[in-house]
Structure 1
Amino acid sequence: MFSIGEVLAELRAEFPDTTISKLRFLESEGLVEPQRTPSGYRKYSRADVQRLRFVLTAQRDQYLPLRVIREQLAEGGDDLVEASARPNLVALGPDDAPPMPAAPPVVVASQPRETVSVRLTAAELGDRAGLTTGQLRDLEQHGLITPDAGGRYDADALAIAEVAAAFAEHGVQARHLRAWRAAADREVGLIAALVAPLLRHPDPSAQARAAESVRELTVLSQRLHAALVRVGLRTTPGQ
């Protein structure tokens, strides 16, 4: 049996964004049911850890909302959870008191399974994305990418630059991408308004629920956008 701190230490190697609040939130959502000691500490079995890994993998790789994952687990049970060999856990001490690991690195959008810390100069960004200095300048002028205080660009700027380079091959310039920027800003405003009540809630688990809501709403937004574009193109003459 493992404490929540030991479970976090193991899972965080594969899922760097996992926190104790996240594990407690998944428990409150009925996705895992650790045992409790007489003093109230959580104790997880190896099966519990495998179940958590299944949930986190389904979220990360398939973008499934928790409701769908819960339904799959209810139907498939333990047979659905694929067990795999993992390093042995090392005891860390009292429950809920693990050592704080370093901040998780940024995930590069073009390499979803690889965690790489990205801080690029303008020249490096241009080389990685295949854009000229002028094209990068246009992206900045139209509010699509912004360097940090040190003049460096992160993984999201790289992802945007790579997409912009692909668009450029079809004759789409930075000024044409302002429509996507405006649409994204509207979506951000809507999602922020939806999760604002959770962020103001004094319950610590509300932060985890807010983060989960943002993730699911983002996925829903992407799915809706893709479907609307498909419908629009299908009704376009000549398509």
Structure 2
Amino acid sequence: MPAAARPSTAGRSTSVPSQGPLLGIGQVLAKLSTEFPDVSGSKLRFLEERGLVHPARTQSGYRKFSAADVSRLRLILSLQRDCYLPLAVIKDYLADVDAGLNPPMPGAVLPAGASILPGGRRFSRDELTREAGATPMLVQDAFTANVIVPADSYGEDTLAVLKALVQLQRSGIEPRHLRGFRQAAERELSLIESALMPVAKRRDPQSRAKVAELALEIAGQLEVVRSSLIRAALGRIVP
């Protein structure tokens, strides 16, 4: 089991444990910066927000990292930099480790042109329709509205979208009502591409890993903004 493994976080206290040396963010950065020059305090906070590391907290709310936390961070950063793995894959691996399993180390380098997102199970059109509990007509409507793009096979994300469309249809919302979603997604993609351009121009492996990481991070932050705007708008119609 990797040195970075630690027990499940279920029921974990947020107070600082009474035993063992604990480090502040600055001390952790000092330990990691030689090997990972780009690591920053915001990066550590982001990893915590994504549930990959779980530092203790002082009564004043300051983060305190144990030696196991530092080892876990070093593993996460190594998998990102050296194996080009997105955080979702690393998180799944660490979850298996935390659960006491013995998963293989995810270390395959992505081939050129491969997606930065985890692959997962693939579905044919018929399998996708059946798994989602959809009708062939709903799937065709999703294609026509450009909510789902026709392909030879489909991943877990497409299955989740189709399941959502099934539920929306029960509320009277059809794929044709969602035509603007594709255009909105393309606009967000343009924003992400513009933000990544300075890094994407570099051709070294570290920059390629950084592009994968930043793309997912920016997409996640855009999702936070979008969700907040929707919740705020709902406040005007839901008492």
TM-score calculated relative to the size of structure 1: 0.57
Name the residue aligned to 1:122.
Answer: 125
The 8 Å contact of residues 120 and 155 in structure 2, kept in 1 or not, is answered as: no
Name the residue aligned to 1:78.
Answer: 66
Give the Cα–Cα distance (whole angstroms) in 2 for the partners of residues 162 and 171 of structure 1. Answer: 15
Give the Cα–Cα distance (whole angstroms) in 2 for the partners of residues 146 and 184 of structure 1. Answer: 13
Q: Name the CA shift for 1:107/1:202 in 2 (closer, same or farther; >3 Å).
A: closer
User: By how many angstroms is 1:156 displaced?
Assistant: 2.3
Deviations 1:79-116 (A, max 9, x none): 773896675999xxxxxxxx8579899988xxxxxx84
Name the residue aligned to 1:193.
Answer: 194
Name the residue aligned to 1:63.
Answer: 50
- The gaps in structure 2 that reach 5 residues or longer are 6-31, 73-96
Q: Which amino acid aligns with 1:29?
A: D
Deviations 1:93-140 (A, max 9, x none): xxxxxx8579899988xxxxxx8422x222211111111000100101
Q: CA RMSD in A?
A: 4.6
Q: Name the CA shift for 1:76/1:162 in 2 (closer, same or farther; >3 Å).
A: same
User: By how many angstroms is 1:204 displaced?
Assistant: 2.9
1:27 to 24, 33, 36: 36
Name the residue aligned to 1:184.
Answer: 185
Q: Name the CA shift for 1:122/1:198 in 2 (closer, same or farther; >3 Å).
A: same
Give the Cα–Cα distance (whole angstroms) in 2 for the partners of residues 25 and 144 of structure 1. Answer: 45
Q: Name the CA shift for 1:163/1:29 in 2 (closer, same or farther; >3 Å).
A: same
Q: Which amino acid aligns with 2:150?
A: P
**Percent identical across equivalent pairs?**
20
Listed as ranges, the matches of 1:1-239 within 5 Å are 27-30=36-39, 59=47, 62-63=49-50, 75-78=63-66, 81=69, 100=108, 116-118=120-122, 120-148=123-151, 151-236=152-237, 239=239
Q: Which amino acid aligns with 1:186?
A: R
Q: Name the CA shift for 1:64/1:25 in 2 (closer, same or farther; >3 Å).
A: farther
Give the Cα–Cα distance (whole angstroms) in 1 for the partners of residues 133 and 153 of structure 2. Answer: 17
User: By how many angstroms is 1:214 displaced?
Assistant: 1.0
- The gaps in structure 1 that reach 5 residues or longer are 1-6, 12-22, 32-54, 91-98, 109-114
Q: Which amino acid aligns with 2:156?
A: A
Q: How many residues align?
A: 175
Q: Which amino acid aligns with 2:128?
A: L
User: By how many angstroms is 1:25 displaced?
Assistant: 11
Give the Cα–Cα distance (whole angstroms) in 2 for the partners of residues 152 and 173 of structure 1. Answer: 23
Give the Cα–Cα distance (whole angstroms) in 1 for the partners of residues 103 and 179 of structure 2. Answer: 50
Give the Cα–Cα distance (whole angstroms) in 2 for the partners of residues 135 and 157 of structure 1. Answer: 13
The 8 Å contact of residues 121 and 152 in structure 1, kept in 2 or not, is answered as: yes
Deviations 1:192-211 (A, max 9, x none): 11102211124431122222
User: By how many angstroms is 1:221 displaced?
Assistant: 0.7
Q: Which amino acid aligns with 1:129?
A: A
Q: Name the CA shift for 1:107/1:165 in 2 (closer, same or farther; >3 Å).
A: farther
